[in-house]
Structure 1
Amino acid sequence: MLIRPLERKDLKKIHHINNQRDTMAYWFEEAYESFDELEELYAKHIHDTHERRFVIQENGEFAGVVELVDIDYIPRTCEIQVIVLSKFRGRKLAQQAMDKALEHAFFILNMHKVYLYVDTENKPAIHIYQKLGFQLEGTMKEQFYARGNYRDSHFMGIMKRDFVKQKNREMKDESSKLQGS
């Protein structure tokens, strides 16, 4: 699995994702976008320093996207979002892609905190986020409208210092395993 910057050639796949009602409900967004609109947005945002969009690839195939958006360089915060195509779910790609995007956010962009919003009933996503080190910071009642209902949303975040500690523990654990074999 690897992540790479979103390119113009990926727009047809993004258009497909953006028009899937169930998928976009996880991002609390309307599943409606014309391809012309998407192309215009791509051109408008290609040099935008307040977002980074990455394609998730698995064995050379487009498997989804992970994005850092609303990048704010004053408090050094940004939001992270991920979508993995249903065909690729269950392979830990969301977790791996988010981990790489967090490395980019903290070690390249020098963010202090990365946050996300998640439907309180999306237990698989919450589990992944907790494994990555995200902490629940609060719950917002009826924050988003999706699937015909107002939905409660958790606000979760991870600080750079906690991400670094977790990475150091992982490296130490990996080193111990190598020495033990």
Structure 2
Amino acid sequence: MKIRPLEKKDLPYIYQQENSRKVMALWFQEAYTSFDELELLYERHVLDQTERRFVVEDDKQFIGVVELMYIDGLHRHTEIQIIIHPDHQGNGYAQMAIKAGTEYAFKVLNMHKVYLYVDVDNDAAIHIYKKIGFIEEGILRGHFFAEGKYHDSMMMGMLVTEFIS
């Protein structure tokens, strides 16, 4: 398994994932409705220095996406997000991809902190994040709206001094 920068050729895979209501609900977002919109978003963000998007792949097969968002150069922190395609869940890819994204944030971007948000009911993801070393920082009540209701979200974080490569 490796991560590599997202490229335009990957958009059909992203389009498939982002049109899944079940998948996008985990990110507390609506599914995209058009490929044209996705292409425009790619073009608009490809040079944006406040984010990095990576494809998770194994033997050149698309597995998912890991993203560093809201990269803050002054405060040296960034949010990490991940989606593993449902066909590949349960194989350890999420853990490996989060580790790789976190390592990139600390060792390449020189971040001080990496943080994430996770639905308090997503026990599998919380288990993975804790196993990697993320620490619960608090609960945001009714913070995200997805699938017709408000969800409590746990904020978790890791400082560079807590990172074990």
Question: Residue 123 in 1 paired to residue 126 in 2?
Answer: no
With CA pairs under 8 Å and 6+ residues apart, which has the higher RCO, 1 or 2? 2
Tell me which residue corresponds to 2:52.
Answer: 52
Unaligned runs of 5+ in 1: 168-181
Name the TM-score, length of structure 2 as normaliser.
0.98
Matches within 5 A, 1:77-116: 77-116=77-116
Residue 78 of structure 1 aligns to which amino acid in structure 2?
T
Deviates more, 1:27-36 or 1:135-144: 27-36
* Larger helix percent: 1
Structure 1 residue 58: Cα displacement: 1.5
Residue 149 of structure 1 aligns to which amino acid in structure 2?
K
Alpha carbon RMSD of aligned pairs, Å?
0.7
Please give the alpha-carbon distance, in whole angstroms, between the structure 1 residues aligned to 2:10 and 2:107.
26
| Percent identity of paired positions between Structure 1 and Structure 2 | 52
| Aligned partners of 2:15 and 2:32 also within 8 Å | no
- The runs of at least 4 consecutive aligned structure 1 residues that moved more than 4 Å come to none
Question: Residue 40 in 1 paired to residue 57 in 2?
Answer: no
Question: Residue 154 in 1 paired to residue 154 in 2?
Answer: yes
Tell me which residue corresponds to 1:175.
Answer: none
Name the TM-score, length of structure 1 as normaliser.
0.89
- Number of equivalences: 165
Structure 1 residue 19: Cα displacement: 0.8
